[in-house]
Amino acid sequence: MKTLKLFKILSLATVLLVAYSCKKKEGCTDPAADNYDFDAEKDDGSCTYTNTNGNGSGSVYTLSDITTNTVLTATNIEVCSDVYVSAGLTIPAGAVVSFCADASIIVTSSGYLKADGTSADPIVFKGKTSTKGFWDGIRIESNNPNNIFDYVTIRDAGGYWYFDDAGVFVSNTAMLNITNTVIDNCLDEGLFFDNDGIVGNFANNVFSNCVTGLSLPSKMLGSIDSNSDYNYNSTNANDFIEARASTIGVNTTWPKTNTPILNQGTELDAGLTITAGSVILNDQNKGFTVNSGGYFNCVGTATEPIQIKGRYSTSAYWRGILIASNNPNNVIKYTTVSDGGSYWYFDYAGIDLKGGRLDLDYSTISNSNSYGVYVDNNSTLYTGGVGQSTVAGVETTNTFINNGTGPNANCTNGCKVYFEP
């Protein structure tokens, strides 16, 4: 009996020893705190800081309105109100800016915000509580080229309708350079450019856990890059870049992006080139109108075709592509065009030529309301470099599937191509 009792005692001691050895040491894990514990593995909320009015890496500095050019040295910064930046404000590399509920930074027309971190010492703007929309966000109203975010993380923002519920809002005529930056956990958009905002340097950014990562007018899409991640790890239905309705007035190339572009209506008074491999969604009753001064160049490859389709795969979901330009750069090649033809002015067709010309090769037109392609008597449709007048000629390189299935279908002969007499 004594042996058994001794065995039980030793076993219990062993269990307690193992449990104790597996328990993480608690303490202050913030290197910027006065009582930072190098050996601590779990933060216990005991960190303390000395307020030295913004001087020194261990300080807690409460940010207030900026009226003269200010270069902070504090790396622990608190924002608990609406802070107006009317002069230059520079945030140091490695700083953490913590926001109280409903707080914000507004960079007025005379100010700028320079947050220039490094890969080793990024700058963080975050809510004191990690909740979407906990703080209002950052609004940029100046076109100063010193509005810079580089190696920055912004999260938990977007709580204000005036900022469009975005983490970062760039207003009309304002400018932002944004590179190597993460925008995460926002209530709605991560980054919103107003209709006449200015996209400066833009590269290698990540948008994650927002309803929509990036929202901007379609005319600005040529300023974004193909290396950014526009909806990292997203499983929501808004997995796209929101390209709001606008008119393109200078020749523009849309890059191939890792999430689709949602076109909400684009008019072309200049050229638009869509990069091979792109996926373009179109919102309901929206589409592309190529005016006489524009062109639509959509050239994929056999291995990287371009997809242009409705946001939802429904016949006649979006307007389609109307081409009223005779520019020889109007080319659709290795491209699928699906779900178009919702608009009578586009003759309910997926592609409508109205006094225009188009080279169409190695492409598939499908699920249109009425005809796949409608060619009026002032237009020319080329296939294989030859002007066509018969469906058979167009079909030598192109495919037509399931057209004429919409509510306004009024077509015959497979609803493929109509040549107006």
pLDDT at 60: 87
pLDDT at 62: 97
pLDDT at 19: 42
3-state SS of the chain is: CHHHHHHHHHHHHHHHHHHHHHCCCEECCCCCCCCCCCCCCEECCCCCCCCCCCCCCCCCEECCCECCCEECCCCEEEECCEEEECCEEEECCCCEEEECCCCEEEECCCCEEEEECCCCCCEEEEECCCCCCCCCEEEECCCCCCCEEECEEEECCCCCHHHCCCCEEECCCCEEEEECCEEECCCCEEEEECCCCEEEEEECCEEECCCEEEEEEHHHHHHCCCCCEEEECCCCCCCCEEEECEEECCCEEECCCCCCEEECCEEECCEEEECCCCEEEECCCCEEEECCCCEEEEECCCCCCEEEEECCCCCCCCCEEEECCCCCCCEEECEEEECCCCCHHHCCCCEEECCCEEEEECCEEECCCCCCEEECCCCEEEECCEECCCHHHHCCCCEEECCCCCCCCCCCHHHCEEECC
pLDDT at 21: 44
pLDDT at 391: 97
Provide the residue ranges of all domains of the chain, joining segments of one domain with +.
51-210, 246-421
pLDDT at 233: 62
pLDDT at 352: 98
**One digit per residue, pLDDT tens: the chain, 421 residues?**
444 444 444 454 443 333 434 456 787 765 455 565 656 667 676 665 443 333 344 578 999 999 999 999 999 999 999 999 999 999 999 999 999 999 999 999 999 999 999 999 999 999 999 999 999 999 999 999 999 999 999 999 999 999 999 999 999 999 999 999 999 999 999 999 999 999 999 999 999 999 999 999 999 999 999 999 998 765 666 689 999 999 999 999 999 999 999 999 999 999 999 999 999 999 999 999 999 999 999 999 999 999 999 999 999 999 999 999 999 999 999 999 999 999 999 999 999 999 999 999 999 999 999 999 999 999 999 999 999 999 999 999 999 999 999 999 999 989 999 999 9
pTM of the model: 0.86
pLDDT at 256: 98
